C-alpha cells in the first residue's frame, strides 16, 4: 500500500506541474495556450495564428475606443465653445444694432460685421461636430460593440477552452504513460500502452486508457474545426477593423480641413471689411456734391464768355487763378471735368451754386469748387502741366 501511495503521489505531482503550465499560458482571463500539447505541427501553427489574431483585434478594438472617446471629448468641448461663441455674436449684434456714437457709426458697423462672421463660424463648427458624430464616433462605436467582433472573439475563446480541456486530457493519459515530447518518446509511449493492454490484470486500466485516447482524439478533431472557424472570423474582423478605422480617420481629417478652410474664408472676408473701414476712417474727408446743387451751366448759357466775376472774393483782379486738386472727381456729364489729386487747374469762373469752370491738361469743363484749393505760388513746371 505504501508503494501505491508513493506512486499516486508522484502522478499527482506530475499532473499538478502540467496544470500549472496550462494555467501559466491561459492565465489572466485572456487568450493563450501551451505549445507543449500532443498536437501536430498544423494545429500548433493554427494556435499561434489565433493567438496573434486575438491580440491584433484586441489592440484594434482599444484604438477604436480611444478614437471614440477623444472625438466625444472634442464634441463636448466644441459644443461649449459654440455656446460661448453664439453669446459673443449676439452681444456684438446687439451693440451694433442699438448703439450709435456721436462721432459716427463705424464701430457699430464693425460690430455687426463681426457678429455676422462669428455666427457663420459657429455654424461651421456645429457642422463639424455633427460630422464627427455621424461619420466617426458612431461607426467606430458600432464596430467596438458590434456582434462580428464579439462573435469572433467568443469562437477563439471556445477554442481556447477546448484546448485547455485537451491539455487536461493529456494530463489524464499521463496517468498511464509519460507524456511524449518527441517522436522517439511517442514511440516509447505506444510500446508502454501496448504493454498496459497486454499485461494480465490491467483490463480496467486498458479500458480507461482507450477511453481517454478516444476523448482526446475527439477533442483534437473538434479543435481543428473550431480553430479554422475562429481564425476565419478573426481574420475577417481584423480586415474590417483596419478598413473602417482608416476610413473614419480620413473622414475626420477631411471634415476638419473643410471646417478650417471655410473659417479662413470667413475671417479673410471679415478682415477685408474691417481694414477697408479703417482706411475709410483714416483717409481725409472727401467733400460730397450736394444732390440738390444745380448742374453746371452749359457753355451756351454763358455764351462762351468767361468774364471776370467775383465769388466771395475768390477771383483775382484778372478773373483767373490757379487751384490744386485736393480730392478726385469723376465727371458725370460731357461738360464736367475729371480731376485727380495733385493736379493744377486754371480756374476761370466760379458760380454761386458751387460749380467752377476751368482748364486742366488742355481740357476745359466744370467741377465742384470745394474740390480744389487756391494756390498763389506754383512751380513753373506745374503751371506747364496745366496746358
Residue 237 sits in the same domain as residue 341: no
Domain that holds residue 242: 39-180+207-282
* pLDDT value for 309: 44
Residue 336 sits in the same domain as residue 273: no
Residue 131 sits in the same domain as residue 253: yes
Per-residue 3-state assignment (H helix, E strand, C coil) for 163-189: HHHHHHHHHHHCCCCCCCCCHHHHHHH
Residue 166 lies in a domain: yes
Residue 176 sits in the same domain as residue 64: yes
Last residue of a domain, one of 231, 252, 282: 282
Query: pTM (2 decimals)?
Result: 0.55
Extract the residue ranges of the chain whose pLDDT is less than 50: 22-29, 34-38, 176-182, 185, 303-318
Residue 88 sits in the same domain as residue 230: yes
Q: What is the CATH number of the domain that holds 223?
A: 1.20.1270.60
Buried/exposed 123-132: b ≥16 CB within 10 Å, e otherwise: bbbbebbebb
Residue 272 sits in the same domain as residue 359: no
* pLDDT value for 26: 39
Q: What is the CATH number of the domain that holds 352?
A: 2.30.30.40
Residue 276 sits in the same domain as residue 172: yes
Last residue of a domain, one of 218, 253, 282: 282
Residue 278 sits in the same domain as residue 135: yes
Residue 142 lies in a domain: yes
Measured in degrees and rounded to the nearest 5, phi and psi for residue 360 equal -145, 125
Residue 63 lies in a domain: yes
How many structural domains compose the chain? Answer: 2
Residue 262 sits in the same domain as residue 335: no
Residue 148 sits in the same domain as residue 268: yes
Residue 164 sits in the same domain as residue 262: yes
Minimal CA–CA distance to 124: which of 264, 262, 250, 265?
A: 262
Distance CA 336, CA 289 (A): 13
Residue 292 lies in a domain: no
* pLDDT value for 252: 95
Residue 314 lies in a domain: no
* pLDDT value for 316: 41
Angle at 249 between CA 245 and CA 252, to 5 degrees: 140
Residue 3 lies in a domain: no
Residue 359 lies in a domain: yes
Residue 85 lies in a domain: yes
* pLDDT value for 288: 60
Question: What is the helix (H) or strand (E) element at residue 276, kind and residue range?
Answer: helix 203-282
Residue 215 sits in the same domain as residue 359: no
Amino acid at each position: 500500500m505504501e508503494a501505491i501511495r508513493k506512486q499516486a503521489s508522484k502522478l499527482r505531482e506530475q499532473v499538478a506541474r502540467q496544470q500549472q503550465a496550462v494555467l501559466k499560458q491561459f492565465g489572466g482571463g485572456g487568450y493563450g495556450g501551451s505549445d507543449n500539447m500532443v498536437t501536430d505541427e498544423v494545429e500548433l501553427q493554427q494556435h499561434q495564428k489565433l493567438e496573434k489574431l486575438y491580440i491584433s483585434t484586441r489592440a484594434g478594438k482599444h484604438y477604436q475606443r480611444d478614437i471614440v472617446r477623444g472625438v466625444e471629448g472634442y464634441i463636448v468641448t466644441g459644443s461649449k465653445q459654440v455656446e460661448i461663441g453664439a453669446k459673443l455674436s449676439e452681444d456684438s449684434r446687439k451693440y451694433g444694432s442699438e448703439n450709435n456714437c456721436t462721432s459716427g457709426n463705424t464701430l457699430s458697423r464693425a460690430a455687426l460685421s463681426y457678429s455676422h462672421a462669428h455666427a457663420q463660424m459657429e455654424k461651421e463648427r456645429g457642422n463639424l461636430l455633427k460630422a464627427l458624430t455621424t461619420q466617426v464616433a458612431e461607426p467606430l462605436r458600432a464596430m467596438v460593440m458590434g456582434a462580428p467582433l464579439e462573435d469572433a472573439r467568443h469562437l477563439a475563446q471556445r477554442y481556447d477552452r477546448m484546448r485547455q480541456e485537451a491539455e487536461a486530457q493529456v494530463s489524464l493519459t499521463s496517468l498511464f504513460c509519460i507524456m511524449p515530447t518527441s517522436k522517439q518518446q511517442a514511440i516509447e509511449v505506444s510500446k508502454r500502452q501496448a504493454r498496459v493492454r497486454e499485461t494480465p490484470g490491467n483490463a480496467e486500466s486498458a479500458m480507461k486508457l482507450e477511453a481517454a485516447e478516444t476523448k482526446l482524439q475527439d477533442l483534437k478533431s473538434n479543435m481543428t474545426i473550431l480553430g479554422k472557424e475562429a481564425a476565419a472570423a478573426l481574420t475577417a474582423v481584423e480586415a474590417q477593423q483596419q478598413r473602417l478605422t482608416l476610413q473614419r480617420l480620413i473622414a475626420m481629417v477631411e471634415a476638419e480641413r473643410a471646417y478650417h478652410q471655410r473659417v479662413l474664408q470667413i475671417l479673410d472676408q471679415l478682415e477685408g471689411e474691417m481694414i477697408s473701414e479703417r482706411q475709410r476712417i483714416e483717409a481725409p474727408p472727401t467733400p460730397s456734391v450736394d444732390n440738390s446743387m444745380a448742374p453746371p451751366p452749359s457753355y451756351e448759357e454763358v455764351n462762351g464768355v468767361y468774364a471776370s466775376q467775383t465769388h466771395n472774393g475768390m477771383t483775382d483782379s484778372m478773373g483767373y487763378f490757379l487751384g490744386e486738386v485736393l480730392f478726385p472727381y469723376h465727371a458725370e456729364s460731357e461738360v464736367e471735368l475729371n480731376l485727380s489729386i495733385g493736379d493744377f487747374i486754371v480756374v476761370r469762373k466760379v458760380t454761386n451754386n458751387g460749380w467752377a469752370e476751368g482748364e486742366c491738361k488742355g481740357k476745359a469743363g466744370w467741377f465742384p469748387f470745394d474740390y480744389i484749393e487756391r494756390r498763389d505760388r506754383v512751380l513753373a513746371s506745374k503751371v506747364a502741366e496745366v496746358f
